[in-house]
Structure 1
Amino acid sequence: MSEQWWKEAVIYQIYPRSFMDSNGDGIGDIKGIISKLDYLKELGIDVIWLSPVYQSPNDDNGYDISDYRNIMNEFGTMTDWERLLEEMHKRGLKLIMDLVVNHSSDEHAWFVESRKSKDNPYRDYYIWRDGKDGSEPNNWESCFSGSAWKYDETTDQYFLHLFSQKQPDLNWENPKLREEVYDMMKFWLDKGIDGFRMDVINFISKVNGLPDAEQPDGRQYAPGGDYFMNGPKIHDYLQEMHEKALSGYDVMTVGEMPGVNVEEAKLYTAEERKEVNMVFQFEHVDLDAGPGGKWDLRPMKMSALRDSFTKWQKGLEQEGWNSLYLNNHDQPRMVSRFANDKEYRVESAKMLATFLHTLKGTPYIYQGEELGMTNVKFDSIDDYQDIETLNMYREKVIGNGEDHDKVMESIYVKGRDNARTPIQWDDTEHGGFTTGEPWLKVNPNYKEINAKQAMADPDSVFHYYRKLIGLRKENPIMVYGSYDLIMPDHDQIYAYRRQYEGQTMIVMLNFSGDTPVFKLPADFESKGELLISNYDANAEEDIREVELRPYEARVYIMK
């Protein structure tokens, strides 16, 4: 397995709308990001993944792009963006941009033309179909609720939108469309960016003929592949993209790929196939979803989490590469979801960080994670902004008469606005994010949880992250070492061994509020150097048996 800079990097995701507001309009912006680059440099990260800053009507917070080559007015200008890139590179930080090419905005010039007539030159940039029996062309459902088709009176046809009605799907069958995308990618690469995070990129190839799905959301297997995930031409498209857009640059790529399994991920990430460097898979963040999907809550079992991570660690051990994450702009805050965000919030945040940074793969930090930020519970549905959340609420409560309190509980646990509340910089009004009214309310716990307080406290979550990131840079075993479970049947302790070039590292993690006992297998070396722990621990302690405190994490290099 080759060594690569992107394997050794730690990546930090910025959701610009919620990061830092420089002009008091309540919306985070590019100048706000520039003002915090020294903070990120101090944290120790290597790469920033910037969620979309392109021109957009903001139906889905920038993931509906109306102009791929311009910057959203609310975020600033192209000059601001160019300065951001310059200031990042000056500090040795790399920038990867979001690539959103499964769909555009319905306000993009291509779609404005496409809907004018059936013989418009841009018609085939999108997926248009006649209705069937006076209804939609097929029974597919949008990922954001409701039908995946919208009727357009102008030409008496429907267009496909797997997300919002304002996000029509692009037609990747059209070679002209593909050339437009590759040309746009080179526009940004030539400006000096360091790669792309590719939004739902495994959706770009749809199954031939667009047949009805047995299950309307289309997420199960059909002949020739999934209906719209990992479709029949996906590998052709990604290899062509590499050849025509990426091959001349030293950049990294990560594909967001819902529904991908280990065997498919090997194909996507195998170095010789030249598709993407790594994928975001969703298996571990679907473990607390019941049969009814994301909003159907069920308890998360640590054993299921361990089984899932182990499957991916072993599956991509010799080929391919893992992305390591527990939260992002679409997922709730990890300390609230996977651990304890109340009496053990600090210990939990440090334990989960230890977990992510001691696995094989590239770790992703989502903004605020390094402060131990938590989920939020707004009093009213009117305080929420996320289109997925609001559509679901309208469908379930207003449309189907379901219980308001029960639906709100699902939103408190799973809603995307949990991750999107503004960063808590200090204990002043609105957490120091803005001098105006924030676009989304700040989590009320900003007085206790904020960057100013964290940076002043040597035992904070922030400084623990700094130490972890530093250790990863000094210890190649944390990046490249093999992975094997210890105590594989324990229901509270998640422990594993990493090995690399004659060195062994032991990681012990307590995913509970109890005090279970870690037992080292008899054939292991029992003397270790304590590399990091989230409690005060005796470095000389015999580690053959260790009673772990609530949410305790320890990492040893064995002697």
Structure 2
Amino acid sequence: MLNKKWWHETIGYQIYPKSFQDSNNDGVGDIQGMIQHLDELQELGVNVVWISPINLSPMVDHGYDISDYFQIDPSFGTNEDFEELIQEANKRGIKILMDLVINHTSDQHEWFKEALANPNSDFRNYYVIKEGKDGLPPNNWRSIFGGSAWEQIEDTNEYYLHLFTKGQPDLNWENPMLREELYQMIQYWLDRGLGGFRIDAITHIKKNYDYINVPADGPDNLATVWEHYRDATGIGEFLGEMRDRVFTDNDVLTIAEMDVEDPDKWEEYFGENGYFSTIFDFYHTPYSIQQEKYKEHPVTFIEDMKTKMFAKQVKANGRVLFTNFLENHDLPRALNRWIPESEIHFNSASALAMMYFFLRGIPVIYQGQEIGMVDYPKDSIEEYLDLPTYNNYENYLLEGLSEDEALHQINIECRENSRTPVQWDASEYAGFSTVKPWFDVNPNYHDINYAQQKDDPHSLLNFYKKMAVLRKNKAYQETFIYSDTVPFATEIKGCVAYERQGIESIFVICNMTNQPMQVPVASVEEILLTNGETDIYVDGYLHLKPYQGIIFK
């Protein structure tokens, strides 16, 4: 049994601030807009809110390029607005997490500007700057966002490293002076009353600085070499130092964006004394039911996801707590990734929600997920805004896809699908703003919106509220948080079923297909929640309708 921590009882919620709520009618979401909806988040059962970056930024990567760690960007409000948000959230039992972006800064940060202006400055060693070779970059590493990972410094043979856009130069974590600056910044925000951080791109802070070219793996003559800049040997020295300096004594929730593929290292990274409280991992995120290998065989997709999900859950039993999520700001909407388009409706959306919400770990909801927001495919690549979207589109053209084929692929996989403004009501611009938003609203907002679902007891929104109430029920909370996840009825195709074996024995069974399903169970003592009929247990079998989920003792 894990030692109990306050954050174990978390139901999390992610806000992408540009798209949550515009309060001052400039088309961009802001902090006062977040404050307006704290009551709705409280009613949803949320007690931790992670906000994507709101620090000062030129917005090359929508805030993940920070030019001043200590200032809130004016597009979102002021430092005083943010402190008001923390205080108002605390009144409702909600803790606020900032997005901690410390693998890189903006190229507009004073550190970087000073590093370029003065080659003898101490700030030169805050970044990764290397000599080129024969008029070319130091090596042929590819940026995660496409193109070379190196950008030439004007009129020199020197290049700086950027694993993301060229506007995001990587910080040199080998420099203790830099690390000290970052720790002081982290403590500054904790002193404002933060509940903790979601920590961006943290796996990349350690690099293998062996500057040699590797065999190209694409038509751009570049190579993606994860082993050189993701979880590189020695990263634990930095992570452990950061934990000891600013996290441990503050008793905060820290969620690292990272995969830890070796289960033997899970305790080191996010166990009782791990570097972080928990992690967002990506075991399920590269897959979509719209991919060619799944389009004609959607049940195969569910089976593959079930296998991956249960493999992780079983290995985590009694050891660590993952976060469990379906959506975030870097993914297409979950319903489009998990459900055939013609079958997206209340039953499939609620069954998918039940499937993940009661797994061992911390459930996290992404804004709009609770009302069933879906992707908004575009008719032209020009309707997208994100630089990586355009890089991916150009790569598809280089690979030989036609413009129509490339756009089709972008529409399936683009992370901008999750960044359309939240659909609050059926008024113009979906109640997000009174002016044209920074990014187009999905036209289906007349049919899918918060106001429409709020007073409908049979809506997806109110089903999410029911799940939160059940998960927090004192009679079952211990079981839902700490007990083991034991897969059940794995031989039934399209059935995702598991038992939570704790003080109570609770079963979660979801029919993730469009066909009726019979599942053998020994007994049903009490149905705790279902998205369908309750009189379905006959002669030792649950007779589930298509996309019916049930939770029972």
TM-score interval, normalised by the smaller of the two chains: over 0.9
Conserved 8 A contact 2:67-2:109: yes
What is the CA distance between 1:396 and its match in structure 2?
A: 3.1
Whole-angstrom CA distance in 1 between matches of 2:500 and 2:70 = 44
Q: Does 1:72 align with 2:73?
A: yes
Q: How does 1:21-420 map to 2 (within 5 A)?
A: 21-214=22-215, 216-220=222-226, 226-258=227-259, 260-272=261-273, 274-288=274-288, 298-299=293-294, 301-397=301-397, 402-420=401-419
User: Matched residues in 2 for 1:154 and 1:177: separation?
Assistant: 26
Deviation of 1:426 after TM superposition, in Å, equals 0.3
**Aligned counterpart, 2:451:** 452
The superposition leaves residues 15-62 of structure 1 with CA deviations (integer Å, 9 ceiling, x where unpaired) of 000000011111001111111111111111110001100000000000
Deviations 1:531-554 (A, max 9, x none): 111112227x34732232221111
Asked if the contact 1:46/1:93 (under 8 Å) is kept, the reply is yes
Deviates more, 1:18-27 or 1:262-271: 262-271
| Pairwise CA distance, 1:259 | 6.6
Distance 1:44 1:212 in 2: 51
Partner of 2:12: 11
Contact 1:347 / 1:551 at 8 angstroms: preserved in 2? yes
CA distance in 2, matches of 1:449, 1:392: 30
Q: Deviations over 1:357-393 (max 9, x none)?
A: 1100000100000001111112221211122112222
Contact 1:266 1:316 in 2 (8 A): no
Q: 5+ residue gaps in structure 2? A: 295-299
CA contact (8 A) 1:492 1:512 kept: yes
Which AA in structure 1 matches 2:434? T
How much does 1:287 deviate? 3.3
What percent identity do the matched residue pairs reach?
38
**2:99 touches 2:198 (CA, 8 Å); kept in 1?**
yes
For normalisation by structure 2, the TM-score amounts to 0.94
Quote the residue 1:424 is aligned against.
423
- Deviations along 1:338-361, one digit per CA (max 9) or x if unpaired, are 124544421121111111211000
Is contact 1:297-1:410 (8 Å) kept? Answer: no
Deviating more after overlay: 37-46 vs 257-266? 257-266
CA distance in 2 between counterparts of 1:266 and 1:43 reads 31
For 2:77 and 2:411, locate their aligned partners in 1 and report how far apart those are by CA, in whole Å.
Answer: 32
1:126–1:170 CA contact under 8 A, matched in 2 = yes
Contact 2:389 2:410 in 1 (8 A): yes
CA pair 338-158 structure 1, distance change in 2 beyond 3 A? same
Aligned twin of 2:297: none
Shift of 1:288: 4.1
User: Does the 8 Å CA contact 1:335/1:345 hold for their aligned counterparts?
Assistant: no
Q: Secondary structure at the match of 1:472?
A: helix
Q: Distance in 2 between matches of 1:154 and 1:71?
A: 34
Partner SS, residue 165 of structure 2? coil
1:491 partner letter: K
Query: SS of the residue aligned with 2:119?
Result: coil
How far off is 1:258 after superposition?
Answer: 4.4
SS at match of 1:321: coil
Q: Quick one: which of 521, 526, 531 aligns to 2:523? A: 526
Count of matched residue pairs: 539
Q: What amino acid is the match of 2:534?
A: A
Paired residue type of 1:536:
E
Is the deviation greater in 296-305 or in 423-432?
A: 296-305
Counterpart residue type for residue 484 of structure 1: V
Identify which range, 56-65 or 256-265, moves more after superposition: 256-265
d(CA) in 1 for partners of 2:539 and 2:177?
62
1:256 CA displacement: 0.2
Asked whether the equivalents of residues 335 and 344 of structure 2 are also in contact (C-alpha less than 8 Å), the reply is: no
| Partner SS for 1:517 | strand
Is the alpha carbon distance of 1:543 and 1:459 closer, same or farther for their aligned partners in structure 2, counting shifts above 3 Å?
farther
Aligned to 1:489: 491
Task: Write the letter of the residue equivalent to 1:352.
Answer: L
Q: Which residue of structure 2 lines up, in the alignment, with residue 471 of structure 1? A: 470
- 1:292 is aligned to none
Contact 1:49 1:197 in 2 (8 A): yes
For residues 158-204 of structure 1, what are the alpha-carbon distances to aligned partners after superposition, in whole Å with 9 as ceiling and x for unaligned?
A: 11111001011100000011001100000000001000100011111
Residue 146 of structure 1 and its aligned partner are, at CA, apart by 0.8
How big is the shift at 1:448?
0.3
- Matching residue's letter, 1:547: H
Task: Provide the secondary structure at the position in 2 that maps to 1:370.
Answer: helix
| Structure 1 residues 177 and 49: alpha-carbon distance in aligned structure 2, compared to 1, 3 A threshold | same
2-structure distance, mates of 1:529, 1:252? 35
Give secondary structure in 2 for the equivalent of 1:463.
helix
Deviation at 1:425, TM superposition (A): 0.3
CA contact (8 A) 2:143 2:224 kept: no
Question: Which residue of structure 1 lines up, in the alignment, with residue 461 of structure 2?
Answer: 462
**Contact 1:10/1:46 (8 A) holds in 2:** yes
Partner of 1:308, secondary structure, is helix
- Deviation of the 1:466 alpha carbon: 0.5
Q: Is the CA contact (8 Å cut-off) linking 1:141 and 1:148 kept in structure 2?
A: yes
Task: Tell me how far 1:486 sits from its aligned partner.
Answer: 1.3
Distance in 1 between residues matched to 2:329 and 2:266, nearest whole Å: 22
User: Are residue 535 (structure 1) and residue 532 (structure 2) matched?
Assistant: yes
Question: What amino acid maps onto 1:120 in structure 2?
Answer: S
Please tell me the residue identity of whatever aligns with 2:372: G
Partner-residue secondary structure (3-state), 1:408: helix
CA 1:312–1:305: 2 relative to 1, 3 Å: same
TM-score normalised per structure 1: 0.93
Q: Against the structure 1 CA distance between its residues 305 and 91, is the aligned structure 2 distance closer, same or farther, given a 3 Å change threshold? A: same
Q: Structure 1: how far apart are the matches of 2:275 and 2:213? A: 29
Residue 296 of structure 1: how far off its partner (Å): 7.6
Equivalents in 2 of 1:246, 1:543: separation in Å?
54
Q: Using the alignment, how far apart are the partners of 1:342 and 1:308 within structure 2?
A: 25
Q: Distance in 1 between matches of 2:308 and 2:444?
A: 32
